Homo-oligomer: A and B are copies of this chain.
Amino acid sequence: MSGRLTREAVLDETLKLAADHGFEAVSLRAVARRLQVTPMALYRHVGDKQGLLDGLVERLLDELPVPDTSMPWTERLQALLAAMRTLARRHPDAFFILLRRPATTPAALRRRDAVYSALADAGVPSTSIPRAERLLSTFVLGFAASEAGGRFTATRRELDEDLVIVGGMLPSLIALVAAAETTDDGRVLQGGS
């Protein structure tokens, strides 16, 4: 509010702007206007436009509950999935940024580690865990982005059911990935067609 500008203050105001007028209204100039500061003042604190968006997404991920490790692994994964979907509804465009950036920020890593530990508890061999997480997060991000972006023509009820079905399939899916991995002898087929 008063005194010196900080990275925190910039991201707080960015979050408010996104909540008020949506993600697409986020611009360096608009944030600067709300802070009563010149656009160039922001560069020192968040870098450039991409830095501002990264900071915003990091804040949103921080709001996601990370399920307690005392819960069964299936419930933990389903809780993470539900949390992502809630986020997708409130901030649809956040997922398009997540699809463009590797999980390197603290909040993203915490979330990924939660998936890793759930997969370990599910009995996935450690060598298969990164692959299983990659395939899982690809589906989850793709689903959230599709729903938020308006790609699906199905009803909300059908989409809810999609996730219930996928949730129920999780143990089988994970077993399939683990099995494929151990079967694989190192030769990689090229999808030549």
Q: Which A residues contact B (CB, under 8 angstroms)?
A: 67, 75, 78-79, 81-82, 85, 96, 98-103, 130-131, 134-135, 138-139, 141-143, 145-146, 149-154, 157-158, 160-169, 172-173, 176-177, 180-181, 184, 188-193
Q: Which residues of the partner chain B approach A141 to less than 8 Å between Cβ atoms? A: 142, 146, 151
Number of chain copies forming the complex: 2
Judge whether A188 and B162 touch: CB under 8 Å. Answer: no
Q: How far is the CA of A60 from the CA of B153 in the complex (A)?
A: 22
Q: Which residues of the partner chain B approach A149 to less than 8 Å between Cβ atoms? A: 99-101
Residue in B81, B85, B150, B173 whose beta carbon sits within 8 Å of that of A101 in the complex: B150
Judge whether A131 and B190 touch: CB under 8 Å. Answer: no
Q: Which residues of the partner chain B approach A102 to less than 8 Å between Cβ atoms? A: 150-153
The 9 listed contacts between A and B (C-beta, < 8 Å) are A99-B99, A101-B149, A134-B154, A142-B143, A157-B188, A164-B184, A172-B172, A173-B173, A173-B176
Judge whether B79 and A193 touch: CB under 8 Å. Answer: yes
Judge whether B75 and A193 touch: CB under 8 Å. Answer: yes
Q: Which residues of the partner chain B approach A169 to less than 8 Å between Cβ atoms? A: 176-177, 180
Q: How far is the CA of A101 from the CA of B145 in the complex (A)?
A: 11
Q: How far is the CA of A134 from the CA of B190 in the complex (A)?
A: 25
Judge whether B152 and A134 touch: CB under 8 Å. Answer: yes
Q: Which residues of the partner chain B approach A152 to less than 8 Å between Cβ atoms? A: 102, 134
